[in-house]
Structure 1
Amino acid sequence: MFVKNGTGELKKVLVSRPEYLKPAPINEIAKKWKDTTMDVDVMLREHEEFVKSYEDAGVEVEFLDADDERPNSVFARDFGGCVKEGYILGNFKLDMRYKEHVDYEKRMAELGIPKIGEVKEGLFEGGDFMFMNEKWVAVGMADRTDEAGLAELKAILEPLGYEVTGVPLKREYLHLDMCFNLVDDHLAVAYVDGLPEEFKKLLAERGIELIPVPEEAIFLHGCNLQALGNHCVLSLKQNKKVNEELVKRGMKVIEMDITEILKAGGGPHCMTFPLVRI
């Protein structure tokens, strides 16, 4: 078994260091920083803190070596999605990320994780892949995953017994994990008004409580949290209100002081590809 759901105990992850990361104007956050130079030393220190947070929590960390030909591979989440049977390789929208297809596929083979399918005709990035429970997957459709990609995901996952729900979003939100994130079995952080009514109805029917955030929180990574399991979550130090609300609901919050990496448009969830979750 590899990844059985989105909130069980996280045991192993795949990440990549931000040695060549730049604020390429490919999302709404990075556009604001496109004329600045990101401090590599600061980013590497932040990433070390990120990795140490995992290791201190008992999570094994695997790495894909950084490469100047794929500067955004620090956002390891995006190359695909992992379920208990193996992983699905995605299909990037942007040319600058194409090399990640090759290098992450090779690394997954080295780690012994089978590829159970691949999105080839449509678009699919892992920031849109959200495990809701052991048999239900939500798939965001904002800027980087489309209807054709969703259809291919359904063709791969539904024969394995998974329910796959498409979640249409505003293009500016980039990925589902920027505006919605499941942090515990029945608890999520979300910009509620940005979610489609049908999806919100499903959440209510299945007893998932939403901690609401304002729309501006999307672009400050207020929803981009990483569930560790056992009612524990990785968050950002700057997410004061969200973190307070999580603690009120019995969650343990591990805060990280990360700001420089965020300028490229991704947070802790974006930087994590789960390999084993039980």
Structure 2
Amino acid sequence: MDSTHYGVRSMSAPLRRVLLRKPSTTGNFAAADWRTPDPRLLIDQHEAFATLLASLGCEVVVADAVDGLVDSVYARDPALVTGRGAVLFQMTKPVRQPEPELLGAAFEQAGVPVIGRLTGDAYADGGDFIWLDERTLVVGRSYRTSESAVTQLRELLAPEDVTVVPVDIPHATGPEHVLHLMSFISPVADDLAVVYPPLAPVSLMQTLAARGITIVPVDDEEYLTMGCNVLAVRPRVAVLVDGNPRIRAALETHGCQTHTYDGSDVSVKGDGGPTCLTAPLWRG
């Protein structure tokens, strides 16, 4: 496949190709820290989400479900697609450890080469990575993403002249709770980001201010219903989980076009919003 059909170094450039993975309806949802979903709703809501992205101009690549791996529907976490291809992670959550290689196979089938893998004591989740611009990648150091991962990613991204900027993720409720960088920030344009300020690191807030990035704050109530997890399909065109009317209205006040999907089971019950469900393959 021609190299112009993959490559990501933005959170809001037009999302031309995206990979989703069908949800597994088998497996231990409780052990994966889900609230028990309705299997039919899992499938129907995921299909409707894929249809929504396609209607917004995205080429949607859908990988098969992986029986028993309930978190695998959250295709963002096992890897990161850069300008040159995919970097596969190692994951600290035991039930997710098979996912990076499985996602790597799906990437290669979609024509996206694997250019590197984290090794040794380097562990990461994709939810801890955001592009501020095409040469600046912010990485959340968290209970899921280690300092060694930051070091290895600097080396892997050096050929692309990318600066890796680490920020520390708050302890919050501890290592058993999934708190990623994208839990409290979602860029929706180069100059606009949805943020939950109570959890945002000071250094990140200072960086946003220095760059002139306007913050659209999420309140406490809508933070709990994934109001801070927003997927930009192009600048100021955003996809949100249904049921967050205040942040939706706030985005529209800032000139955004918004689209929602019913994520009661596929998103809210597994704590994974639209960014979590998507592995962007090509933005630009």
TM-score (norm 1): 0.92
The residue type paired with residue 9 of structure 2 is K
Tell me the residue number matched to 1:96. 95
Could you tell me whether the CA contact under 8 Å between 1:69 and 1:99 is conserved in 2? no
Tell me the residue number matched to 1:164. 164
Could you tell me whether the CA contact under 8 Å between 2:88 and 2:101 is conserved in 1? no
Any idea what the Cα deviations from partners look like across 1:88-112, whole Å, max 9, x if unmatched? 1111112211221221111111122
Q: Find the aligned partners of 1:50 and 1:133 in 2 and give their Cα distance.
A: 27
Superposition pairs for residues 30-49 of structure 1, below 5 Å?
A: 30=34, 33=35, 37-49=36-48
The residue type paired with residue 126 of structure 2 is G
Is structure 2 residue 29 aligned with structure 1 residue 23? Answer: yes
Could you tell me whether the CA contact under 8 Å between 1:125 and 1:144 is conserved in 2? yes
Tell me the residue number matched to 1:219. 224
Could you tell me whether the CA contact under 8 Å between 1:183 and 1:225 is conserved in 2? yes
Q: Could you say what secondary structure the match of 2:17 adopts? A: strand
Is structure 2 residue 187 aligned with structure 1 residue 182? Answer: yes
Report how far residue 215 of structure 1 moved: 4.4
Q: Could you say what secondary structure the match of 1:274 adopts? A: strand
TM-score (norm 2): 0.90
Is structure 2 residue 258 aligned with structure 1 residue 248? Answer: no
- 158 and 13 in structure 1: CA distance in 2 versus 1, 3 angstrom threshold: same
Task: From 248, 259, 262, give the equivalent of 2:264.
Answer: 259
Alignment gaps of 5+ in structure 2: none
Report how far residue 26 of structure 1 moved: 4.6
- 219 and 91 in structure 1: CA distance in 2 versus 1, 3 angstrom threshold: farther
Range 175-184 or range 240-249, more displaced: 175-184
The residue type paired with residue 105 of structure 1 is G
> What's the C-alpha RMSD, in Å, of the aligned pairs?
1.7
Superposition pairs for residues 175-214 of structure 1, below 5 Å?
A: 175-214=180-219
Report how far residue 160 of structure 1 moved: 2.1
Could you tell me whether the CA contact under 8 Å between 1:167 and 1:195 is conserved in 2? no
- 57 and 100 in structure 1: CA distance in 2 versus 1, 3 angstrom threshold: same
The residue type paired with residue 245 of structure 2 is K
Any idea what the Cα deviations from partners look like across 1:97-137, whole Å, max 9, x if unmatched? 12212211111111221222221221111111111111111
Q: Could you say what secondary structure the match of 2:273 adopts? A: coil
Q: Find the aligned partners of 2:206 and 2:182 in 1 and give their Cα distance.
A: 19
Q: How many residues align?
A: 271
Tell me the residue number matched to 1:135. 135
